[in-house]
């Protein structure tokens, strides 16, 4: 069976819909013409004044969508932005390619889990309280930047929060692109902030090499099979998911679970998909290079 990648699937951040990533997905399709690019709309992000969906609804929808793709034999790189990391972590456990039991079985599955300034947390953690008991008073979502209603949360200052106030924060994004992006920001269900992570797909990622000893003068290292590669794209100027938190999450994954998280760093705010599109696509080309023969 072919080991080539067939799809890039993006799980949006909170308050974002597929149209929020139009510039980015267009660039991805241009750079990787052999791949199908899909952005999954999260049910909890809606203009409905009384939303019924929540974090677990988002998780179920994403798992169902991705499972269907895998059943068709498709091999997927999953991109997760911001809150999308919480959803992807919860939804996509145990979906990496398996050894086929018959000659006709598919070897579809998730080959890469790529977090872009995204939540990469442990089970039992809330998105709104990422440090858990270690820093119980540190909240990720400030009431001054959002209108918290009983049923939904509205982002009040998306440009200031997610891009920045200085001219250089805009990067390559034009004023028109920023205006179009602001028009795609929708409310999110309030319930997503009080619902705990149940699973952590990143824990199934490739582990750091463990040397088993010497044989014939050569060290042997355990292989990783078809476990997904876990990648974290850090945004060093991010204030929504602060750089300190990004480093802390990756550090815990490495030190406490032994996951071999590959790290790339971008000097951008929270929206590299908009303000540093070209650089982000280049990074993804490097990350996916082994399974993208046409990419130079």
Q: Do the domain assignments include residue 85? A: yes
Instruction: For the full predicted model, state whether its pTM sits above 0.85.
Output: yes
Q: What tens digit of pLDDT does each residue of 42-89 get?
A: 999 999 999 999 999 999 999 999 999 999 999 999 999 999 999 999
Q: What tens digit of pLDDT does each residue of 256-277 get?
A: 999 999 999 999 999 999 999 9
Average pLDDT over residues 285-291: 87
> 61-70, 154-163, 181-190, 283-292: which has the minimum mean pLDDT?
283-292
The answer to whether 204 and 94 have CB atoms below 8 angstroms apart is yes
The strand pairing partners of 231, in sequence order, are: 114, 262
Place of tokens 């100027």: 237
Per-residue model confidence (pLDDT) at position 99: 65
CATH number at residue 178: 3.40.50.1820
Q: Do the domain assignments include residue 126? A: yes
C-beta contacts of 278-287 below 8 A and 24+ residues apart = 278/27, 278/172, 280/24, 280/116, 280/233, 281/24, 281/27, 281/28, 281/31, 283/233, 284/8, 284/28, 284/31, 284/77, 284/79, 284/114, 285/31, 285/32, 287/77, 287/112, 287/114, 287/229, 287/231, 287/262
Share of the chain above pLDDT 70, in %: 87
Q: Do the domain assignments include residue 1? A: no
Question: How many domains, in total, are found in the chain?
Answer: 1
Q: Do the domain assignments include residue 75? A: yes
Q: Do the domain assignments include residue 296? A: no
* Model confidence band, residue 232 (pLDDT cutoffs 50, 70, 90): very high
Q: What tens digit of pLDDT does each residue of 98-110 get?
A: 766 554 456 899 9
Provide the residue range defining the domain that includes 180: 7-291
Per-residue model confidence (pLDDT) at position 144: 82
Per-residue model confidence (pLDDT) at position 101: 53
The answer to whether 208 and 74 have CB atoms below 8 angstroms apart is no
Mode of pairing for the β-strands spanning 188-189 and 218-221: unpaired
Where is 116: in which H helix or E strand? Answer: strand 109-116
DSSP for 145-174 reads: TEEE-SSEEEES-HHHHHT-SSGGGGTT--
Q: With 70 as the cut, is the pLDDT of residue 116 above it?
A: yes
């Amino acid at each position: 069976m072919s080991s080539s990648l067939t799809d890039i699937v993006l799980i949006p951040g909170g308050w974002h819909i597929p149209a929020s990533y139009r510039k980015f997905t267009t660039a991805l399709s241009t750079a990787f013409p052999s791949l199908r690019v899909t952005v999954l709309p999260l049910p909890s992000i809606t203009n409905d004044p009384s939303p019924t969906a929540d974090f677990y609804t988002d998780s179920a929808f994403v798992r169902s969508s991705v499972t269907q793709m895998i059943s068709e034999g498709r091999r997927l790189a999953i991109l997760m932005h911001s809150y999308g990391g919480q959803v992807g972590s919860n939804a996509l456990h145990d979906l990496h390619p398996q050894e086929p039991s018959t000659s006709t079985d598919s070897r579809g599955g998730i080959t890469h889990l790529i977090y872009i300034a995204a939540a990469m947390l442990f089970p039992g953690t809330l998105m709104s309280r990422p440090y858990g008991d270690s820093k119980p008073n540190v909240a990720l979502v400030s009431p001054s930047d959002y209108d918290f209603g009983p049923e939904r949360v509205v982002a009040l200052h998306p440009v200031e929060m997610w891009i920045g106030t200085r001219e250089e924060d805009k990067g390559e994004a034009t004023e028109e692109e920023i205006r179009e992006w602001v028009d795609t920001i929708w409310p999110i269900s309030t319930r997503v902030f009080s619902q705990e992570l149940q699973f952590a797909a990143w824990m199934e990622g490739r582990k750091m090499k463990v040397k088993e000893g010497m044989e014939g003068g050569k060290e042997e290292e355990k292989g990783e099979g078809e476990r997904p590669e876990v990648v974290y794209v850090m945004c060093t100027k991010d204030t929504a998911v602060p750089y300190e938190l990004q480093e802390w999450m990756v550090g815990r994954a490495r030190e406490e679970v032994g996951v071999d998280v590959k790290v790339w760093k971008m000097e951008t705010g929270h929206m590299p998909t908009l303000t540093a599109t070209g650089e982000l696509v280049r990074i993804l080309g490097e990350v996916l290079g082994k399974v993208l023969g046409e990419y130079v």
